[in-house]
Chains A and B, each alone.
Chain A
Amino acid sequence: MTSIRLSLAALAVAGTCTIAAAWRSQLFPAAILVSVFCMGAALVLSRSSRARFWVFCLGQPVVILAGYSNLFLSPLLEAGLMTVFLHSLGQLSSVKQGIAWAATIPFLVLATGIVATSRHVLTPLAISLAIAAVAGLGFFFSSYRISHRSFGGVDEDQTL
């Protein structure tokens, strides 16, 4: 199965799960509507050069809708879509990357699950943004060290 077909299949599974989770609820028509629309759009965009990215993005409305039906379904579907997305980009081809992703999934699902059970948005949002800011600073310094300390690297403005 090619990567784009796998992505479409994953989106189809996510859509079906969302519809099934919304069975006998007020969200059922919306789930059908959103899932069908996203699938159709994904099929249309599947021939574009960035089809895998578009399919992954089109999966997000389905995941959000699944969050209204079942709190724990949303992180699971998101993890599945991300796994397929990474696989389609060739980012799970090595054992190292596979292990790294497998180790990350539980934390991702757990964090999303905790957030989904919270009553208000502000506190988890602030905490998440603070963590992201700290991580961003860490990335900045780390990339600076790699590009300036390794192998006699120099500042780009410096005249040699």
Chain B
Amino acid sequence: MQPTRCTSALSALVLGLLSLAWILDDVAFLGTGIALLFFLLYRGFLFLTLAREISGTLTFSRNAVPLILRQGAAVSVETSFSVQIDPGMSAEAEDLPPTGTVVVHGDTHTGVLPPSQGNLLIRYRISCLPTGTLHFQGFVLKIRDPFFLLRIRCSGDSPPLSVYPLRSYLRTGRAATSGEVETEKDTPLKGYGIRSFRDYASGDDPRSIDWKLTAKHGRLFVREYSGMSGKHPFLVVDLPDSAAICPGEARDTLLGSALQAVRILSREPRGCTLMVISGPNLLMYLPKERTLSRLETALHNTPVRVVQAFRWTDPAVASAFRTRLERVAQEGAGFHASLLVPYRTFLSSVKPTRFEVQCAHVLSHAGREIVLHVLSTGLGDPSHLAYISLLARRMGIEAILEIPAESADPSRLKRLASLGFSQMKVLR
């Protein structure tokens, strides 16, 4: 409860009168001062009584559309208040949008509600700049009379907004997300790029004649277009561990790019094939999915990595290493002989992990005419990425690793390049 300016001035007057009464020992001043003091107490008591009644009549509802949106998109919010205000009192309400959002249209304040006001509707639009789950902060009801002001902040109950990050996903490079890959081979489907030039032979399409080159050399040249092969993109999104530290920008870039990619791919005739992983944990596999909401829901995940991998080594590589160790260890005891003991003990009992089995099953199901686009932050141990890369190489599948620019420092790029992906891209 806060005093208004009127009450503050009257309080100062009361203090002045009572001080004078005490200094002068004058009952006339005292009487007037005490009368004003009890007058203020009476008003305070009456205000609180009426404020309690008013707050009891308050009803509130909020409707926000849409609840799931991209970063920067606008949300229309409709908030309705219903309150019964006694004569002599006034109220003012303010809706509190989520932190970090910007009101782009309308006003979140109701203005001063006159007495006996029934329902009131506030309409405004907010632009959501932060990403993630955004909760409305509630609303504030200010009840006032000429003497006092009470500010009631209520939590309100309305569903939160889910804001996805917005990033671009460029369809560049040889393996774009359209599902078509330009090759240097001669294929029935012709691409847009020019592979080579050759002399004109009878029966060639006159439209493929390169007139500039013909004019330059004085004989007919035709263009040889690059071929198109129908390799379909297979998106693998490696979500960061929610229990580990991950820069927000890197996560937003990864998720925003992945969302943009699934939006593009879901419009393709074959749909989007998506595998969502988090470290060596397969979270979801959606083959040829065309429903965007399912794809978005699959990516709207904050996983905790149940299984963690650390310095994974391929059993074949480990066996080769053991053989080499055995050869070196024959020459004498020492470090190599000691290292050979755990290799001999454990290597025979190493079994494929569940993640390895799942990945092998998924990739064999997807076929060989695919291009793997692995989107990862690249943070933490890259064992699972190493395994995917190895599996892709074994199956003859092209695999491209794409990491956010925020986490693409030279040392990490060098480490990830050693995993064996055919290409590496930086997401911006």
Contact = CB atoms under 8 A, between A and B. Distances in A.
A48 interface: no
Nearest to B138: A160
B199 interface: no
A89 B39 CA distance: 14
B58 interface: yes
Interface string B1-42: 100001001000100011001100111111110111111011
Contacts of B25: 120-121
Contacts, number: 153
B86 A135 contact: no
Count class of interface residues, chain B: 35 or more
Give the dominant DSSP class at B's interface: helix
A147 B108 CA distance: 20
B14 to A, nearest CB: 9
Contact of A154 (B36, B38, B44, B138): B138
Given A125-B18, A132-B37, A140-B1, A146 B28 contact: no
Given A91-B88, A139-B44, A160-B135, A115 B150 contact: no
B321 interface: no
Interface residues of A, number: 56
Given A64-B29, A121-B30, A147 B151 contact: yes
A152 B154 contact: yes
B184 interface: no
Given A116-B28, A143-B150, A150 B45 contact: no
A115 B34 contact: yes
B239 to A, nearest CB: 26
Nearest to A120: B25
A44 interface: no
B155 A160 contact: yes
Interface in A2-51: 50
A61 B52 CA distance: 36
Interface of A: 50, 53, 57, 60, 63-65, 67-68, 74-75, 78-79, 82, 89-94, 96-97, 100-101, 104, 107-108, 111-112, 115-118, 120-122, 124-125, 128-129, 131-132, 135, 139-140, 142-143, 146-147, 150-154, 156, 160
Given A135-B45, A139-B44, 6 more contacts: A117-B27, A121-B30, A125-B34, A142-B48, A150-B55, A153-B154
